[in-house]
Amino acid sequence: MKTIAFSLMLFVVTFSLQAQTKPLYDNSGRNIGSISADGTIRNSSGRIVEKVSFGGGISDSNGSSNGKFLSDGTLLDSNGSSIGKVTDSGTVLDYNGRYLGKISSEGKVYDSNGRCLGSDNGASKAQAALVYFFSN
C-alpha cells in the first residue's frame, strides 16, 4: 500500500511540475525551449540557459548574475546598466528607447518589422523579452 501511495504522490508531483512548464515556440511552431514556474529558462535540448528569480534577478546556468529586471520593466545587465525595457503593454525597447518589438496580450512575439518571432505560451512579458530580444 505504501508503494502505491508513494507512486501516486510521485506521479502527482511530476504532473504538477510539467503543467507549470511553458514551452516556447518559434514562428513555425517549433519548440525552442521552455520556461518553468520557478523562472528556469531551458533551450530545446533541455539545457538551462538562464534563470529569472521572483525578485527579478537573472543568472546563467552556473548561477552567475547576468542582470536584473526592475519592477518598472527595465532590464539591467550585470554591471547595473540599462539594456532595455518591457512596458506593461508589451512594447520592447532597447537601452536608447528604440523599438525592438512587441509581445501581444495573446503571447505572440513580434520584431520591429511586425514579423512574428514566436509565442511565449503564457510566460511573463519580461521572461519572453529576455528569450526573444535580449539573449545571446
Give the DSSP H or E segment for 68: strand 65-69
Which of 15-19, 70-74, 91-95, 114-118 is predicted with the least confidence, judged by mean pLDDT?
Answer: 15-19
Q: Is the pTM of this model over 0.85?
A: no
pLDDT of residue 10: 32
What whole-number percentage of the chain has pLDDT above 90?
Answer: 36
Q: What are phi and psi of 69, to 5 degrees?
A: -95, 130
Confidence of residue 136 (pLDDT cuts 50, 70, 90): low
**Average pLDDT value over all residues in the chain:** 82
Domain extent listing, the chain: 22-132
Local structure of residue 118 (DSSP, 8 states)? E
CA 35 – CA 14 distance, rounded (Å): 16
pLDDT of residue 131: 86
Closest CA to 22 of 118, 122, 116: 122
| H-state helical runs in 21-136 | 125-132
Residue showing cell 521572461 = 127
Residue showing cell 520584431 = 111
More confidently predicted of 104 and 1: 104
